[in-house]
Amino acid sequence: MTEKIRVENLVKVFGRNSKAVLKKLEKGITKEEILKKTGNAVGVNNVSFEVNEGEIFVIMGLSGSGKSTLIRCLNLLNKPTAGKIFFEGEDIVKYNKKQLREFRQNKMAMVFQHFGLFSHRTVEDNAAYGLEVKGAPKEERLRIARETLETVGLGGWGDKMPHQLSGGMQQRVGLARALANDPDVLLMDEPFSALDPLIRRDMQLELLDIQDKVQKTIVFITHDVNEAFKIGDRVAVMKNGKIVQVGTPEEILSNPANEYIEDFIKDIDRSKIMQAKNVMFKPSPLLFNKDGLKVAIKEMETNGISSLFVVDKGRKLQGLITIDDTINAIKEGKTLNDIIQRDYFTTDPETYVQELLPIASETKFPIAVVDQSNKLEGIIVRASVLAGLV
């Protein structure tokens, strides 16, 4: 994957003589001791990580962990005390005021927890505000604003005022305003934490849908572990200004780095985090539609199974056969096409385990995991669904 952002040894200290605190940090003095002795607050302490192009990179941590301080360093709203921040290979910490202004206007946009909409402007004018600041002609910026509102599911709401919208809709306007500038990177600082739980869940799904359309690089801040694992391609967990572990949700769940991470994830609802792709088996054995019934019996006997999915040479799913039907077909002189069944469940790789639980409890056959072209990607049995929750 292409690296978009790389952070190296980043430190942010608040207060006077912040440079002098660096030596204390290098000696291993804790942020609590530094605050007590000097009055300086250590927000970020020697943090390094990279963000790949097109991924949702989530930074997660409890209040005071440094996550919001860190994200504000990425666009230099917080000027780092030490360290480097590379964007497409260029250290933005060295930017002058003009370069920084252009960077913020064109490359990186921010979506805040509180929507920050102008109450006296229409939804469309709010979405167009960033383009107005850049000096775009009115007709152009309103056209782009309308297109962006369509992208976030607010087509037809452009002439409304912010107070006429729900909290979730207002947050979508904030997202549209950020997207209207067509930035390379979106910084999202706990954007859904002020929303009601049901609206928050809807916005998480909405963000994933929008990301599927626009394919931006997103750095997302949250204190909610379920939210982090649901939307993040990779997750960084922070504590006391440091990153404790970085990995995919699956990697962190499977191999927590220490007791802190174990405690952090112990109450997570895995059924809402794990997806079909995390619990499926590779589709082997298989029967190709060119194969005969005796080949099918041999495959089932060899692998100790009583049913078998049938695919074509492109591995597109054609159906399913059972051992009983196959044996009877040989006796009766029938062909594979005579006994193939289509009475089974299918799902896509992104489906959450939570949605598969009722299916797994009632189906007598494995669940087939297929892509948009009906290509068989994997199979799921009831035991693998339940094992994914452990």
The 10s digit of each residue's pLDDT in 326-361 is 999 999 999 999 999 988 999 998 888 888 888 887
Residue 333 φ/ψ region, left for φ over 0, alpha for ψ in the -120 to 50 degree band, beta for the rest: left
Q: Is the pLDDT reported for residue 388 higher than 60? A: no
2 band by pLDDT with thresholds 50, 70 and 90? very high
d(CA 345, CA 359): 8
Q: Is the pLDDT reported for residue 241 higher than 90? A: yes
Q: In the structure encoding, which two tokens stand for residue 283, read together?
A: 């589709």
Domain boundaries, the chain: 51-76+91-269, 278-387
Cβ-based burial of 107 (10 A; exposed 0-12, middle 13-18, buried ≥19): middle
Average pLDDT over residues 167-194: 89
In this prediction, residue 332 carries a pLDDT of: 94
Q: Is the pLDDT reported for residue 384 higher than 70? A: no
In this prediction, residue 386 carries a pLDDT of: 62
For residue 109, the cross-strand partners are 186
In this prediction, residue 75 carries a pLDDT of: 94
23 band by pLDDT with thresholds 50, 70 and 90? confident
In this prediction, residue 236 carries a pLDDT of: 97
Under 8 Å between Cβ of 272 and 351: no
Q: In the structure encoding, which two tokens stand for residue 119, read together?
A: 């109450």
d(CA 379, CA 309): 9
Under 8 Å between Cβ of 233 and 249: no
In this prediction, residue 329 carries a pLDDT of: 95
Distances (CA, A) of 164 to 147, 161, 197: 20, 6, 20
Residue at token pair 């992104």: 350
CA 85 to chain centre: 22
Average pLDDT over residues 165-183: 88
The 10s digit of each residue's pLDDT in 122-135 is 999 999 998 888 88
Under 8 Å between Cβ of 377 and 295: no
d(CA 110, CA 113): 10
d(CA 343, CA 355): 19
Q: Is the pLDDT reported for residue 283 higher than 80? A: no
Average pLDDT over residues 188-216: 85
d(CA 165, CA 149): 13
In this prediction, residue 26 carries a pLDDT of: 86
The 10s digit of each residue's pLDDT in 30-52 is 888 999 889 999 999 999 999 99
User: 278-387, what's its fold?
Assistant: CBS-domain (3.10.580)
Exposure letters 69-81 (e unless 16+ CB within 10 A, then b)? bbbbbbbbebebb
The 10s digit of each residue's pLDDT in 148-160 is 999 888 888 999 9
200 band by pLDDT with thresholds 50, 70 and 90? confident
d(CA 148, CA 329): 57
In this prediction, residue 275 carries a pLDDT of: 81
- DSSP letter for 346, please: E
Distances (CA, A) of 47 to 7, 75, 91, 110, 229: 7, 16, 15, 21, 21
As a whole number, the mean pLDDT across the chain is: 89
Q: Is the pLDDT reported for residue 211 higher than 70? A: yes
Q: In the structure encoding, which two tokens stand for residue 9, read together?
A: 């040894």
Q: Does domain 51-76+91-269 correspond to CATH entry 3.40.50.300?
A: yes
